[in-house]
Amino acid sequence: MELNGKAVIITGASSGIGAATARHLAARGAKLALFARREAEMQSLAEAIRQDGGEALVVPGDVTRSADVQRLMRETLAAFGRLDALVNNAGMGGGLNLCDTRDDLLWRVLEVNVLGCALCAKYAMPHLPPGGVIVNIGSVAGEVATVGMYAASKFAARGFNDALRREVKGRGIRVVLVAPGFIRTEMTAGLRYRMPGPEIVARAIEQAIRSPRRKIVVPWWYRPLMYLGKIPLIADAILGNPKTQARYRDRDSVKKLSA
């Protein structure tokens, strides 16, 4: 799919991967609907995009609220008259051990990372034409479990992605999983780990829309790590090491991306 003139919804668009993707796709001519809870940040982003000659609509809301998601679809269609791609990027991460995580945060991680993804896909699908694309942002943690409910939610998101891909195959809609490793965003700010910036994921999302395939892992050097999930003894020995766990753990409790 060529991006010029195409209408794309990006959830979690107020910061990190979502904001980087918005800037990247706008520079290639896409018309953007930005969706997140933090309206002020999205307005600043949209204004910057417009100053560069792009088109951006701001729709504040929560991916876990059906009414908000349905309003997102209505406003996108009213503004652009079409919908060509959905980028399910909104997410929430927790770097705490299970016993250190509040009960409400256990639920919230699942709601944002799984239910939010499903709701946006559900209400976008009736408006996507043949050749339309849904990009779900997963994680390497959805292939090789690391710590906390975040990994569990990303395993679930991967299962949802695969099931949805098969469900819509006959309709000509393509479903792609983009699985980043550690990326420098608000959500990973407390981790003791060197990470590339979100622009590398934005480029992968562009690739997913232009030339859809089942899965894109980014950065590429995380691909060998995926095989650890197939060999539990090795994965347990490496990822279960206390020093490894400490690197994954967020020093400042739970970091959030805008949902």
Q: Is 70 helix (H, G, I), strand (E, B) or coil?
A: helix
Which residue is catalytic, options 150, 193, 227, 248? 150
Return the amino acid letter for 2.
E
Q: What are phi and psi of 55, to 5 degrees?
A: -120, 130
Cα 258 from chain centroid (whole Å): 11
Q: Residues 15, 259: contact at Cβ < 8 Å?
A: no
CB atoms within 10 A of CB 77: 14
Q: Is 150 a catalytic residue?
A: yes
Closest listed residue to residue 130, CA positions, set 166, 94, 169, 167: 169
The residues carrying an active-site annotation are 150
